[in-house]
Chains A and B, each alone.
Chain A
Amino acid sequence: MGLDEFFVTGEPLIYAGMVAITLVSGAIIFLLTYFKKWKWLWREWLTTVDHKRIGIMYILSALAMLFRAGSDALMMRTQLAFPDMNFLNAQHYNEIFTTHGTIMIFFMAMPFLIGLMNIVVPQQIGARDFAFPYLNALSFWSFFFGAMLFNVSFVIGGAPDAGWTSYTPLAGDIMSQGPGQNFYLLALQLSGIGTLATGINLMVTILKMRAPGMTLFKMPIFTWSTFITMFIIVFAFPILTIALALMTIDRIFGSHFFTLAGEGLPMMWANLFWMWGHPEVYIVILPAFGIFSEVIATFARKRLFGYTVMVWSIILIAGLSFLVWVHHFFTMGAGAFVNSIFSVTTMAIAIPTGVKIFNWLATLYKSRIRTTTAMMWALAFIPSFTIGGITGVMLGMAAADYQFHNSYFLIAHFHYVLIAGTVFGCFAGLVYWYPKMFGHKLNERIGKWAFWLFVIGFHICFLPQYFLGLDGMPRRVFHIVPEWFNLNVISTIGAFGMGLGFAVFVYNIYYSYRYSEREQTGDPWDGRTLEWATPTPVPEYNFAVVPHVKEHDAYWDMKQKGETIYDESKVEPIHMPNSTGQPFIMSAIMFFASFALVFEWIWLAVAGLVTILVTMGIRSFDYDEGRHIDVEEIKQTERSARGL
């Protein structure tokens, strides 16, 4: 294989990408060396098993991925702004919409939410860490290296171009030659391992590590939504694992699961993909529901209305999420009876979702609302998401779907639920928990600028697409005809508005780091749940004394009764896990093994696999039992953090 086959050549945009990657990596290496930060980076971050730091790394990676996939989106919108644009060619356009979808779902939405869960869930339940801190670090690094593997594809080997759903036979080795599709399969496999491990980890954490007195129905709602999401992950991700593995074996080892030859069934892929893929939709929306519930209850200064019903509706949505996958391909010949069944189950999801909407509204009713930035994201979510939900019910009618499917109506629908639900939720959660993470608030004024730019841009971008869809504009086309010009140009303007909003959001992080007032109390929003009981910066052990929970909204209850959770006389030595570089190293080896398999260098991949097994064996002999933080140290940390 020559170098010209290894690197992608012939595209000015990709050359620019290569230059950008080289410059950025060079700058990072230079800065780390210049400020002598390599040791700091390794000891404080790359080897950490602290759930709060891992959460921050998740969120940073997710923001970087939001930038990358957002740039993809802007390139697509530029290409579609005017009829017969020649900004991108057909092949490049295919690659860009594939990577946009894949990265947004796998490497932006999920890691962002998992990052917030990492930081918040142990603190909300009064725990000191995850059940398995080592495994948590491994989860993060396998996600991170999976994301990197996917991202190198556009400069090395070539990006996948068969859509984020990668339908066979198009994604098979006959119609998609070269390494692009392999990058998709192995990158998702690698990061999927981490996601499954997180699912198990958080389930055990929530089941076993709650503070005394916190029964299941006294758990904060975000923890509940996390718990149910982890159920979905544990049962849905193995399906993806198998689907990806079967397609990999089809492509690399010549089996016939999804081929047209050898009596394979290409439709099997669509079924397997969506049996995972539909639950995945709820994996990225239920945690966002949890965030909105927390934010709305805090800033409406009221207990969440209908807490129990909220929990049960999350459970019901999770159950139904497994029963609707065929609605993704009503038109692929399943027949009227099957379509009817899946049409009914699909529309049934609107019922518990509607219940939640009414509960949020009832929480706001007759409350004293504080319109902070986080609250504004939550308030904007309710009407925007409802538009997305209702058009979803329209798509759920099998007969009508024959008209809407594969059109921009569908594009508008799922962006309305995924952006107004998940992305608004991620932003609301980041702004809300930011003081807990970094010890200062994000600037409210700049935050509101980002909010308005993003939200107005969002509606300008996606509302026209409903009408474009009804006008017959199909998705995945790279040229538009003059009839679709007006609405497309409006949509593109909106997209750039969102881009600007994101830029302002990121600028706000820099600005607040420089100028925001440092947080003293640890409870900047007058919060209701236990994460606000810890001082800021949060000590690595979270709670010096494990709190006893009596009521729902435990911290609010304590504040009303004038109790504090910290009692110096009750401090005991705390057991904490040691930092370790193993998760990072193991994931790096998996990265290289997967990279070898992408290029079908079988022996190198086998060597990588053997190395992974050997490192697992070494890990098996590792009886590191952690260390204890002694009482004096805890007292000192608490005194300085609490300003005593």
Chain B
Amino acid sequence: MSAHEENTTPLEYQTEDAQMNILGFWIFLAAEMALFGTLFATYAVLFGRTADAPAPMELFEPGTTLVMTLILLTSSFTCGIAVHEMRRGARKSMMTWLTITLALGLSFLGFEIYEFYHYASEGASLQSSAYWSAFFILAGTHGVHVTFGIGWMILLLMQLAQRGITSITSRKIFIIGLYWHFLDVIWIFIFTGVYLIGMVV
């Protein structure tokens, strides 16, 4: 009975320490929800307060943001495959899928930097108006999170190369998976709440 149970528990959950780490990370994500919730609320309140700067409708490009959304959604999918491969114990394939995730995250960032640069050259920057301050800080905070996640993932890839799949590395990978999916969820809200609404209203 107990042997059977051990077999069905995923590797990342097998030690008590790891269970506590994962629970702690879920609570951290709850705090992150409050954090982004505050930023969304700020954005909503300052919506339309563009002063002399261009309106979002004039600048937002449906094409770019759609591509960004697809890239990030795909990266969440590839990250999921990586965790799946980890549970199969296939280190190489898992590292490949993580690297793909990493590359997708980087290209997302590239688009975002291009986008910010483009808006700034059209006269909409952090300093232009309350609306644009809120926009840049909301989207920028998400971008900073993605950047942080990329750096973190690189460190984890190095650790995987050194140590292989252990109860500790698997816990770390599982947690960064949670983080990465969370960023995806936040982006869905930014895509709909900021870009889609901003293009219409």
Contacts and interface: CB of A to CB of B under 8 A. Distances in A.
A262 B151 contact: no
Given A235-B30, A235-B34, A204 B20 contact: yes
Contacts of A621: 155, 158-159
Nearest to B25: A200
A617 B151 contact: yes
Interface string A223-248: 00000000000111111011101100
Nearest to A208: B20
A234 B34 contact: yes
B128 interface: yes
B35 A262 contact: no
A613 B27 contact: no
Given A265-B130, A272-B42, A620 B159 contact: yes
Question: Of residues B27, B131, B158, which shows the largest number of chain A Cβ atoms within 10 Å of its Cβ?
Answer: B27
Interface in A159-208: 196, 199-201, 203-204, 207-208
B31 interface: yes
B50 A254 contact: no
A268 interface: yes
Q: Give the size range of B's interface with the partner.
A: 35 or more
Given A246-B42, A257-B133, A621-B159, A204 B51 contact: no
Contacts, number: 118
Interface in B108-132: 126-131
B106 interface: no
B39 A242 contact: yes
B46 A255 contact: no
Q: Per DSSP, are chain A's interface residues mostly helix, strand or loop, or mixed?
A: helix
Given A208-B19, A208-B23, A237-B31, A263 B50 contact: yes
Interface in A257-284: 257, 259, 261-265, 268, 272, 275
Interface in B143-174: 151-152, 155-156, 158-159, 168
A196 B27 CA distance: 10
A200 B27 contact: yes
A61 B155 CA distance: 36
A268 B31 contact: no
Interface string B40-63: 001001100111000000000000
Contacts of A263: 46, 49-51, 129-131
Contacts of B30: 234-235
B134 interface: yes
A242 to B, nearest CB: 4
B196 interface: no
A253 interface: yes
Contacts of B192: none
B189 interface: no
Contacts of A257: 42, 46, 130, 133-134, 137
Interface string B13-25: 0001001110110
Contact of B38 (A234, A239, A259): A239
A515 interface: no
A261 B133 CA distance: 12
Given A208-B20, A208-B23, A249 B137 contact: yes
A256 interface: yes
A593 to B, nearest CB: 16
A326 interface: no
A15 B151 CA distance: 47
A486 B39 CA distance: 49
A496 B42 CA distance: 44
Question: Of residues B38, B42, B126, B129, which shows the largest number of chain A Cβ atoms within 10 Å of its Cβ?
Answer: B38
A131 interface: yes
A278 to B, nearest CB: 15
A253 B127 CA distance: 8
A207 B129 contact: no
B42 A242 contact: yes
B6 interface: no
A643 B49 CA distance: 73
Contact of A238 (B38, B127, B137, B168): B38
Contacts of A254: 126-127
Contacts of B16: 208
11 contacts: A238-B34, A239-B34, A242-B38, A250-B133, A259-B130, A262-B129, A263-B49, A268-B42, A617-B155, A621-B158, A623-B168
Query: Which 5 pairs of residues, A with B, have the shortest CB-CB distance?
Result: A263-B49, A255-B133, A238-B35, A238-B34, A242-B38
Given A238-B37, A242-B42, A268-B45, 13 more contacts: A203-B27, A209-B20, A239-B38, A249-B133, A256-B127, A257-B130, A262-B49, A263-B49, A265-B45, A265-B49, A268-B46, A620-B159, A623-B168
